[in-house]
Amino acid sequence: MRKLLTPLVVLTAAMFAYAPIAILNGPAESTMLLISKIFYFHFSTWMALTAGLIVCGVCSAIFLFKGNATADRFAFAAAELVTVFGAFGLASGSIWGRKAWGVWWQWDARLPMALTLELIFLGYLIVRKYGGPGSDKLAAAMGIFGAATGPFIYKSVDWWRTIHPQTSVMTTLSIKAPEMWRLVWFCTGAFLLLFVVLLLVRVHLEERRAELDRLYLEAEA
């Protein structure tokens, strides 16, 4: 894992070093102008969060039904990353909305659903920290249901009338604004690499914690 981690870190750092320059010189949306440049990181962070939801949901299910400890470590690490990327997604969206909509927050369908997702995963972390014995199984169930909210949040802008742009913005971007489309996927690639790097490091921490627990049990025996 360590052999893989070093080139991944270098590549991620290089992409994040180049991203601000590309965004600065890249195109802006015609009506929102400069503030629309938040889009590049805002969209990418939600894509990294989606990766976290998939990892957490799948690994939680594997742990719950098969009892695989490695899957539990991946689920725990992914849940923590969901809260980190979710926090930035909510903050960047709020800042963007302040300029584009004139308000920091809008109680439409998308935004409160995204906030609820963040709260579910904060709940997951609290259960893991303070839940005591058996909290891993309870948290796994939370992880599965937290991940299940993802598709509803994604489609909320199409199903309900909201102030947030619809999903068709991304499907038509490659035709209407190919330069923006390329740049947003470059940033998404950088965010997904960052997600993988942080996930591997966070899983390593859980492995070391498990090793420490094993040593304590040996010492007591």
Partner 1 sequence: MNIFRWPAAVAVMALLLTAPAVLAVQQQPPPANEGFVQANDLPATEQLPAAPLVVAAYSIFLVLIFGYVWSIARRLNTVEREMRTLEQRQSPGGVRR
| Residues near partner 1 (CB under 8 A) | 20, 33-35, 37-38, 41-42, 45, 84, 87-88, 91-92, 95-96, 98-99, 194, 198, 201-202, 204-205, 208-209, 211-212, 215-216, 218-219
Question: Nearest distance from residue 117's CB to partner 1, in Å?
Answer: 17
- Residue placing its CB nearer to partner 1 in the complex, 64 or 85: 85
- Residue placing its CB nearer to partner 1 in the complex, 64 or 198: 198
- Residue placing its CB nearer to partner 1 in the complex, 45 or 50: 45
- Quickly count: other Cβ atoms within 10 Å of residue 214's Cβ: 10
Question: Nearest distance from residue 66's CB to partner 1, in Å?
Answer: 26
Residues composing the chain: 221
Around 175, how many Cα atoms within 13 Å sit in the side-chain half-sphere? 4
3-state secondary structure of 30: coil
Give the residue among 66, 203, 86 at the shortest CA–CA distance from 140.
66
Structure tokens of 27? 């195109």
Question: Nearest distance from residue 152's CB to partner 1, in Å?
Answer: 25
Give the residue among 194, 159, 201 at the shortest CA–CA distance from 49.
194
Element holding 124 (H helix, E strand): helix 110-130
- Residue placing its CB nearer to partner 1 in the complex, 64 or 190: 190
Question: Nearest distance from residue 161's CB to partner 1, in Å?
Answer: 20
